[in-house]
Structure 1
Amino acid sequence: MKRLVFLLVLICAAPLAAAPYAEHQARRPELFDPETGYRIGRQRAPTPDDIPAPAVLVTPQEARALLAEGALALDVFAAQQSRFDELEGTWLVSEQRLSLPGAVWLPEVGRGRLSDIMQRYLEDNLTRMTAGDRARALVVFCVADCWMSWNAAQRIAAMGYTRVYWFRLGTDGWLDIGGALAPVDPVAVDVD
């Protein structure tokens, strides 16, 4: 009997784990911005198995192939202190971040709502890193179960970038396929 109950619980819970983003929003609307649909609360929580187009969900193997073809790895993991020095523009981080080799780390650009400074930080760095090429492939990631990469991938696609790939499992998925991680420093904020 216990085994039957356990199986029923697993069967009933499986659809919740794979619920599309719209179902996440319907269940917990207070966690989402009503205008944009971006997640604004509890960034570290199970993420959906999909993302609105034109962003595309990719597996660790697909992310590796895209990066081998020259895609830009964009890490949006939050800065530990979630603050930058407003005079210098440098980030205050308490721990070294390990990321995909060659990745660029733009902390905080995956928040559900961005300040004007953070929006400009994202826009300016994307323009610089892609040399203005909005067709440059971008692999956006964080860690597994982090909505910041989901938000950032959509935000970047909404800015007109046409090849935005959401690497849902991030650094955790990279390690799962035997990939190595390397230290990365956050890009400074231009405070001028």
Structure 2
Amino acid sequence: MPVRRWVSAIVAALVPWTVAQAFAESLPEPDGYRTENYRAAVPATLKGAKVVSTEEAVALWKNRSALFVDVLPYDPKPEKLPAGTIWKEKIRQDIPGSIWLANVGYGVLNMETEAYFRKGLESRLGDDKDALVLFYCMENCWMSWNAAKRAVGWGYRAVLWYPLGTDGWVAAGQPTEKNVPLGF
């Protein structure tokens, strides 16, 4: 782990939430999508979307009133892995009932990934652009911010962004379940 990243992790652990939150609130939203350093402080806002707290996310989950969409990246086992190479599949513990649309939170999407993202939303929401849809990843992850921003750009009018993601969910003692990326 690079020294700068290590120091940032220690500072983040020691700095009270109120100071970290104040920093995030001062971080301006970019005009476009974040295209690098996806694990960094995120802004406190997202134009066209509602930012939700852990308490609000839990209430939405308990009421089953929103589609929860995880956008954490996923790296499948390489097809041409050399013989004898050990591959350990990453296990994703997710908010129960979520769909995992892997890799849709990057700042630039190729045509196949964009089509996968659109199809994933349509598979659960149909043409309903007013249905509540909540995007998340992990704390300080621009992937969920990018994905929520993209959905707003596509005309979804009830976009929710949960910036604390599974980190905030687990910290609040909420249940998780193993999930796999949605496939078609």
Range of TM-score over shorter length: 0.7 to 0.9
Tell me how large the CA RMSD over aligned residues is. 2.6
Paired residue total? 160
**Equivalent residue, structure 1, for 2:27:** 20
Please state whether the residue corresponding to 1:18 is helix, strand or coil: helix
Q: 1:49 pairs with 20, 44, 53, which one? A: 44
Q: TM-score, normalised by structure 1?
A: 0.75
**Equivalent residue, structure 2, for 1:171:** 166
Using the alignment, how far apart are the partners of 1:84 and 1:152 within structure 2?
25
**Equivalent residue, structure 1, for 2:7:** none
**Equivalent residue, structure 1, for 2:150:** 155
Q: Which sits farther off after the overlay, 126-135 or 136-145? A: 126-135
Please state whether the residue corresponding to 2:72 is helix, strand or coil: coil
Using the alignment, how far apart are the partners of 1:78 and 1:129 within structure 2?
20
Using the alignment, how far apart are the partners of 1:135 and 1:84 within structure 2?
38
Using the alignment, how far apart are the partners of 1:119 and 1:138 within structure 2?
17
C-alpha change, 1:67 and 1:142, in structure 2 (3 Å) is: same
**Equivalent residue, structure 1, for 2:61:** 67
Mapped contact 1:143–1:172 kept (Cα < 8 A): yes
C-alpha displacement of 1:84: 8.5
Please state whether the residue corresponding to 1:140 is helix, strand or coil: strand
The alignment-based identity, stated in percent, is 33
Q: Which runs of 5+ in 2 are unaligned?
A: 1-15, 80-86
**Equivalent residue, structure 2, for 1:76:** 71
**Equivalent residue, structure 2, for 1:33:** none
**Equivalent residue, structure 2, for 1:29:** none
Mapped contact 2:99–2:182 kept (Cα < 8 A): yes
Mapped contact 2:27–2:42 kept (Cα < 8 A): no
**Equivalent residue, structure 1, for 2:13:** none
Q: 1:58 pairs with 52, 61, 78, which one? A: 52
C-alpha displacement of 1:157: 1.1
C-alpha displacement of 1:19: 1.7
The list of structure 1 runs, each at least 4 consecutive aligned residues, that deviate by more than 4 angstroms after superposition, is 12-15, 82-85
Using the alignment, how far apart are the partners of 1:95 and 1:149 within structure 2?
19
C-alpha displacement of 1:68: 2.6
Mapped contact 1:82–1:108 kept (Cα < 8 A): no
Q: TM-score, normalised by structure 2?
A: 0.78
